[in-house]
Amino acid sequence: MTPEDRFSALVDELVGLAGVTPPDGGRGFGSHALRFQNKIFAMLARGRLVVKLPKARVDALVAAGEGVHFDANKGTPMKEWLSLDPASDVAWEPLARDALDFVGHGRG
């Protein structure tokens, strides 16, 4: 399954949850993003799942080799954003649900 197919399945799974909206299909940052009350929590960027999580969790996943800090092409890695390695065995849905929980509780 391609990253786009995997993300589409993730969108289908989460978009029915209260407050979650699908990608708007526009252009620019966040156009391919799942949002909770207008806050991005998961998106597909450059063929990789990108999620917003607590800094300590992102650091742990990076240290474990599961991905890198996302940088949005600005040259500065974002401390609460993980760009998951395409070869990672980490399941996308639980990771995205953790990101939704993080953003949904006003921490993200």
- 47-88 pLDDT tens trace: 999 999 999 999 999 999 999 999 977 778 899 999 999 999
Mean pLDDT of the chain: 91
What is the pLDDT confidence band of residue 107, given thresholds at 50, 70 and 90?
low
pLDDT at 106: 63
Q: What is the pTM of this model?
A: 0.91
- Write the DSSP string, the chain: --HHHHHHHHHHHHTTSTTEE-----SSTTTTEEEETTEEEEEEETTEEEEE--HHHHHHHHHTTSEEE--TTTTS--TTEEEE-TT----HHHHHHHHHHHHHTT--
